[in-house]
Amino acid sequence: MVKNRRLESEGPLFGVRHLQCLLVFCGLSVAYALRVNLSVAIVAMTDRNDSNPDFDEYQWSEKTKSLVLSSFFWGYVVTQVPAGSLAHKFGGKVMLLLGIGICSVLTVLTPICARLGDWKLVCGLRVIQGLSQGFLFPSTHTILSKWAPVEERGTLGTYSYSGAQFGTVVMLATSGIVASSSMGWPGIFYISGGVGIAWTFAWFAWGASSPAEYKRISPEEKKLIETSLGCASQTEENAAPMKTPWCRILTSPPFLVLALVHCTHNWGFWTLLTEIPTYMKNILGMDIKSNALLSALPYTAMFLMCFVFSTLQSTLSRHQCIPLSVSRKLFNSIGHWIPMITLIALGYVGADRINLAIVLLTITVGINASTYLGFQVNHIDLSPNFAGVLMGITNCAANIMSIIAPLIVGFIVTDEKNPTQWRIIFFTAAGFYFVGNLLFVIFGKTTVQPWNDMKSSQVAKGDDVNYAESQH
């Protein structure tokens, strides 16, 4: 420890590792902007009176719009499980470059595809975008594991992964203004895609999979990183790969509960993310400019609450106020059951109480940040050695919910201006939040499972937990 502190003092205040994390932050911001841009753009695409009327309008039903919004996740779920292996084999830089680069180019082509092939071609394009973004988090995780010293994993991981919420906020806040400008709704895709392409050039020039690949890194900083990671990393790299106990994982009750709560979380979260702009327009009667700005408010709250809950958990942990299992279930309950209550209340708020509706939406989404300290870090509790495999499986299953949830909205909401139908949507999401967290509280575990091979337990568990908790 003394040696690490001495080496840390020799490292630069802003080094190459900080540059890598800044680039990753920007990359995740771009990726999430590309992911959610259609949520607001589709409002303008289907109603020219809400934006610049000089551009094409498409007569898409609510079912068609839900189909288009969900199509991204058809491809996204496919590449979740193999993404980690490919990032390990080819390097995080290459896979992140290809993932965001391909998605950015296709985003620029979206208006042309809509004009040539209507919603069917747009769906096909979004599927490919989903395939490319499936490599996003495994690649990011691989890069951080090479660049972040053990002592800085929590800090650098938090800064990097917070880009996801930042990109969502910026896109939702600006897309309505762009759609009403002279660029029209195509400008949403041109600007976001163009920024993504610019990021790929910056990442190609300054990004690196590991310190060994970056020629301009100082000897002091390289030594700092390699000394911190070297012993554990070299041991793991030189050892024979551990076989994944697939059968025991897939039949493990705590893991199955974890997968279930991940699925229920995604149902509620992505229902809100994809449908809030439409709900604000048709029920609350907002124009697209105020719609987009206010749609960003809940995700701004979530971005900030990530740091609030992280600080609170660190304080509780430092003073050993509550056991780990209680901490996980407490924060998960906050992140699921408070939104459950606000969603039920939201179902009874009419257009005459817009401010209350905005407050409830902000609380619903913002408090979701608490789950980053709940189920979303439980993978490493159950199995430190196979945490990445567990995340790939549960994230794949959970994103199937991201496909189904918008489709269900299309089947239930046949009249977009009917508050009763929207009430059913909110009640359904609240029900998923309630059941998922209840099962997690009753059956969830934080103890390492028997099928985890503890031979590699030399890695500092506390640092790994802090690192995982910083992921967004």
Other beta carbons within 10 angstroms of residue 8's beta carbon come to: 14
Q: Is the dihedral of CA 206, 156, 95, 98 positive or negative?
A: negative
Measuring CA to CA, which residue among 182, 368, 174, 347 is closest to residue 266? Answer: 368
Computed over its alpha carbons, how large is the radius of gyration of the chain?
A: 22
pLDDT tens, 26-85?
Answer: 999 999 999 989 987 888 898 877 677 888 889 888 788 888 988 888 888 888 888 867
Q: Please tell me the pTM assigned to this model.
A: 0.72
Q: What pLDDT, on a 0 to 100 scale, did the predictor assign at position 386?
A: 73
Q: What pLDDT, on a 0 to 100 scale, did the predictor assign at position 466?
A: 41
Q: Residue type for 15, please?
A: G
Spatial contact of 377 and 271, defined as CB atoms under 8 Å apart: no
Cα separation, 453 vs 466, in Å, equals 21
Where do the domains of the chain lie, and which CATH numbers do they carry? 14-229 (1.20.1250.20), 245-451 (1.20.1250.20)
Residue 282 burial by CB count (10 A; 0-12/13-18/19+): exposed, middle or buried?
buried
Cα separation, 349 vs 422, in Å, equals 11
Spatial contact of 313 and 409, defined as CB atoms under 8 Å apart: no
Q: Residue type for 437, please?
A: N
Cα separation, 88 vs 74, in Å, equals 24
Tokens at residue 245, please? 């106990």
Ranges of the chain with pLDDT below 70: 1-12, 50, 84, 88, 150-155, 157-158, 229-242, 287-293, 295, 380, 384-385, 387-388, 453-472
Cα–Cα distances in angstroms (integers) from residue 64 to residues 116, 195, 252, 331, 397, in the given order: 17, 28, 39, 37, 23
Q: What pLDDT, on a 0 to 100 scale, did the predictor assign at position 146?
A: 79
